[in-house]
A and B are shown apart, each in its own frame.
Chain A
Amino acid sequence: MKCRLIILEMFCLFASYALFAQAPDTAPAAPTTPSPAPTATAPANAATGDSKLLGKDLPFFNPGNEIVTWDGKNWNIADNRLFRARFEKYLNAPEQTSQDDIAYQKVIDQILEKLAPKKVNATTLDEAWALLPEASNYKSDAHLCDSLSDAVYASWLAKEEIQRLTKANETLDRQKNSIEWNMKMAVQNQELEKSPPKNPFAAAEWAKEQELKRTTRTQPYLERLADINARLLANRTKKEASELQTKIEFQALIVQFFLQRRFQHVIIANRFYRSIFGDGDTQLRVDDPMKNLLTQGSGLPATIGLLDSMANEAMRDVTEGIDAFNFLLDKEELASATQRLQEAFTIGEYLPAIRTLSRDKKRQALDFAQKSNQLISALEVKDYSLAENLVNELEKMAKDFDKSKPLAAIETAKTVSGMHLAKARTAAVSGDRATLETELKNAMEIWPRNPELAKVSGAIFEQTDIQQQALVDLDRLISQKNYRQIYEDRVRFIAAAALYPEKQEKLAAVLENMQLIESSIIRANEISKHGDYAGAWESVEKVFQQFPDDNKLNQVRADLTTQAADFVRSLRTAQDLEKKEQTGSSLAWYLKAQHLYPLSEFAKEGIARLVKNILPEEP
């Protein structure tokens, strides 16, 4: 019974929400487990039938996970945004204990009292009906009592029409009896007039004549009788149709009250119905889906009494829920208290027990509900830092708050995100850009606001930027043949080119050359320390010819050129003259250079070249 009640209430809720044209979520809330296949336990005919106001399927509630399946969509009754907003609005609203609210409830109570099964009679019925417009004047009623009053009045008019038709039929019955008797008399009088002749031929002619006379006499009666019978039948049909139409309209109003969760109105309307239509016919004449919803699982017929009992049960359930809320609130078990109030609110949003609950008590639940809703939102958007803070706050607020589920979700997300970040770091180090991007994306999808994500990705991209910049600089310096700059920033370039074999190769060649230059400079400095400037110059000059663009080498060479001026001038003059094919002069200068620096390799080589030119080797 309770489960059926919840299903109905959820149906009512969705019916009311549908009026706002609120589209349902397309997926269940994040923390919930997958809902079972609705077709397994949903109403058998749920998937069939034409498109209806509320979709093709009836709502199906799974109490195991609080998921409602409706029209192919899954809803979590606690996680629904519209419901949460409505519940928070209620928690913020003041208690309805104004004079108007009290007066309204008093009128409703009076109506119920006058319609009580053992007290109702024609007088109390009229009195109760008279109170309906008064109740309708209050804002809380939303003019529902006006609708009920109109329905009762319409029913009464229909009943009067039925009575009028009944009386008309009685009159017609009497007329019918009279005509039947007159016709009977007319036929009998004819038989008494004379006897038939004895001649057979004459007798036959006489019989024909008599038959013609009888027909002529009874014809008007027959026609009149047929007319009366037709009118009787039409009246009976009209009477039955009128009664049925009135009942259907009244039942529709009761069902509407039920769907709106106006359970007091359901009971009032039900009692009016029973009084107006006292023929014992309480069968609900509504569409099959609605009938199935009301009778699901029970096998009981759908009657007005069923609605009445369910409304009573709902009211009792709400009262119990409020009692439980008050008790749990006293025990500082806010989680359960809020849940009980939420359940009671879902079922009996308009019942006095809900409406008169003090705002102070509701405020206590409000803070918890807001934070709970924030927690749900935080989990939905995967903001696990905020979710963790909220879990801690909720734990402090409510002794009975069950943090295991949210914490499990949070910790799992954090762990998995951390694993992806670790993989991303490894991929970054190994230069696997595809894996790096994939792992960063995975980590971001699991925990988009992970602070570590920003740090790690920032560091990786910063590192990548530095690396890319270094590689760009390396290419530029190589194209400029500025090997000195590369050599001085060699640590940076070695690190940047570590992942690029092609660049690594170029860098290695540059550094090798620079090593040669540096070695020659060191060697020249050592030689010059001993006063052998020509030797030092020659040491530098050899490398200079390979790397004429190195500034440092140039500078050292220039200094040594000054210090070994005669030798250098001799050698250069020799080289110039050699190019001009002044063999004699050139050789003389080479000899002079050798005279100045006997160990000169340049001079030795020059002399060897020219000697070979002067005295070629003979075969």
Chain B
Amino acid sequence: MPRRASAKHHPTIWIFVVGLIVILGAGGYYLYCNVNDPFRTLQPLDVAVYLENSNSLRGNTYKIQASIQNSLAWSPNLGRLFSVAMESGEPLPLLVPAQFNQINLQKGQKFFFKIKISEKGILTVEDLKKS
């Protein structure tokens, strides 16, 4: 009796399908991330450089994603100063100017921040979006 050819799917097909799924997943994630980041056109802050010499970055604009840790100070006219934790856990000071006083910033909330290195090397928020 002659050997009957397999009626099931060829294994190569299976490999292709899995590969396609992975590619689709990665692409989906990439799209998710970029589409969710409101400041995706901005360069993220190089924390190491900032920690070493913040004054050298004065005038630059960056983006960071960080969560609120503590409120360090508050000034009705100048704004609020927070300590925020980067995703790496690095704490950084962040000045949220008075123009954002209407936004509630609470401990543990995660935000996308558009920041500018102001005078004295302070990270000053220019814009923020809740992530």
Asked if B93 and A584 make an inter-chain contact with CB atoms under 8 angstroms apart, the answer reads yes
Provide the residues of chain B in CB contact with A582, threshold 8 Å.
53-55, 121
Do A595 and B91 form a contact, CB below 8 Å, given A583-B54, A584-B117, A615-B73?
yes
Provide the residues of chain A in CB contact with B31, threshold 8 Å.
none
> How distant is A527 from chain B, measured CB to nearest CB, in Å?
24
CA–CA, A618 and B77, complex, Å: 9
Provide the residues of chain B in CB contact with A614, threshold 8 Å.
73, 81, 93, 95, 120, 122
Provide the residues of chain A in CB contact with B73, threshold 8 Å.
611-612, 614-615
Question: A584 touches which one: B75, B83, B121 (CB < 8 A)?
Answer: B121
CA–CA, A615 and B98, complex, Å: 12
A386 within 8 A of B: no
CA–CA, A25 and B94, complex, Å: 110
Interface set, chain A 233-277, CB cutoff 8 A to B: none
CA–CA, A581 and B83, complex, Å: 19
Of A585, A595, A618, chain B has the most CB atoms within 10 Å of the CB of: A585
> How distant is A59 from chain B, measured CB to nearest CB, in Å?
116
A12 within 8 A of B: no
Question: B120 touches which one: A581, A595, A612 (CB < 8 A)?
Answer: A581
> How distant is A402 from chain B, measured CB to nearest CB, in Å?
107
> How distant is A359 from chain B, measured CB to nearest CB, in Å?
118
Interface size on B, residues (CB 8 A): 26
Contact residues of A: prevailing secondary structure: helix
> How distant is B111 from chain A, measured CB to nearest CB, in Å?
17
- Contact code string B29-53 (vs A, CB < 8 Å = 1, else 0): 0000000000000000000001111
Provide the residues of chain A in CB contact with B91, threshold 8 Å.
588, 591-592, 594-595
B128 within 8 A of A: no
Provide the residues of chain B in CB contact with A612, threshold 8 Å.
73
CA–CA, A594 and B73, complex, Å: 16
Interface set, chain B 47-65, CB cutoff 8 A to A: 50-55
Asked if B78 and A588 make an inter-chain contact with CB atoms under 8 angstroms apart, the answer reads no
> How distant is B59 from chain A, measured CB to nearest CB, in Å?
13
A587 within 8 A of B: yes
B87 within 8 A of A: no
Asked if B121 and A583 make an inter-chain contact with CB atoms under 8 angstroms apart, the answer reads yes
CA–CA, A610 and B93, complex, Å: 11
> How distant is B94 from chain A, measured CB to nearest CB, in Å?
10
Interface set, chain B 67-88, CB cutoff 8 A to A: 72-79, 81, 83
> How distant is B108 from chain A, measured CB to nearest CB, in Å?
15
> How distant is A570 from chain B, measured CB to nearest CB, in Å?
10
CA–CA, A134 and B116, complex, Å: 151
Provide the residues of chain A in CB contact with B93, threshold 8 Å.
584, 587-588, 591, 610, 614
B123 within 8 A of A: yes
CA–CA, A588 and B82, complex, Å: 11
Interface set, chain A 597-615, CB cutoff 8 A to B: 607, 610-615
CA–CA, A588 and B77, complex, Å: 23
Do A585 and B121 form a contact, CB below 8 Å, given A591-B83, A611-B73?
yes
> How distant is B89 from chain A, measured CB to nearest CB, in Å?
8
Do A611 and B120 form a contact, CB below 8 Å, given A584-B54, A592-B90?
no
Asked if B90 and A584 make an inter-chain contact with CB atoms under 8 angstroms apart, the answer reads no
A589 within 8 A of B: yes
Residue of A nearest to B52 (CB): A585
CA–CA, A589 and B52, complex, Å: 10
> How distant is A365 from chain B, measured CB to nearest CB, in Å?
114
> How distant is A576 from chain B, measured CB to nearest CB, in Å?
11
CA–CA, A611 and B75, complex, Å: 11
Question: A588 touches which one: B54, B81, B95 (CB < 8 A)?
Answer: B54
CA–CA, A581 and B58, complex, Å: 13
Provide the residues of chain B in CB contact with A589, threshold 8 Å.
51
Asked if B122 and A585 make an inter-chain contact with CB atoms under 8 angstroms apart, the answer reads no
CA–CA, A310 and B52, complex, Å: 131
> How distant is B110 from chain A, measured CB to nearest CB, in Å?
18
Residue of A nearest to B83 (CB): A591
> How distant is B113 from chain A, measured CB to nearest CB, in Å?
14
Provide the residues of chain A in CB contact with B55, threshold 8 Å.
581-582, 584-585
> How distant is B105 from chain A, measured CB to nearest CB, in Å?
15
CA–CA, A592 and B90, complex, Å: 7
> How distant is B39 from chain A, measured CB to nearest CB, in Å?
20
CA–CA, A615 and B94, complex, Å: 12
- Contact code string A562-597 (vs B, CB < 8 Å = 1, else 0): 000000000000000000011111011101101100
Provide the residues of chain B in CB contact with A610, threshold 8 Å.
93
Asked if B76 and A618 make an inter-chain contact with CB atoms under 8 angstroms apart, the answer reads yes
Residue of B nearest to A583 (CB): B120
CA–CA, A582 and B52, complex, Å: 9
Asked if B81 and A584 make an inter-chain contact with CB atoms under 8 angstroms apart, the answer reads no
Provide the residues of chain A in CB contact with B79, threshold 8 Å.
615
Provide the residues of chain B in CB contact with A581, threshold 8 Å.
55, 120
Provide the residues of chain A in CB contact with B121, threshold 8 Å.
582-585
Asked if A584 and B50 make an inter-chain contact with CB atoms under 8 angstroms apart, the answer reads yes
CA–CA, A175 and B117, complex, Å: 174
Do A584 and B122 form a contact, CB below 8 Å, given A589-B51, A591-B93?
yes
CA–CA, A584 and B83, complex, Å: 11
Provide the residues of chain A in CB contact with B78, threshold 8 Å.
615
CA–CA, A588 and B81, complex, Å: 12
Beyond the given pairs A583-B121, A585-B121, A613-B120, 16 more chain A to chain B contacts, judged by CB atoms under 8 angstroms and listed by A's residue number, are: A581-B120, A583-B120, A583-B122, A584-B50, A584-B123, A588-B54, A588-B92, A591-B92, A591-B93, A595-B91, A607-B72, A612-B73, A614-B93, A614-B120, A615-B74, A615-B79
List A residues at the B interface (Cβ < 8 Å): 581-585, 587-589, 591-592, 594-595, 607, 610-615, 618
Cβ-closest 10 pairs across A and B: A584-B121, A584-B54, A583-B120, A591-B91, A585-B54, A587-B93, A615-B73, A615-B75, A611-B73, A584-B122
Q: List 18 A-B contacts (CB under 8 A).
A: A582-B53, A582-B121, A583-B121, A584-B54, A584-B55, A584-B117, A585-B51, A585-B52, A585-B53, A588-B91, A591-B93, A611-B72, A611-B73, A614-B81, A615-B73, A615-B75, A615-B78, A618-B77
List B residues at the A interface (Cβ < 8 Å): 50-55, 72-79, 81, 83, 90-93, 95, 117, 120-123
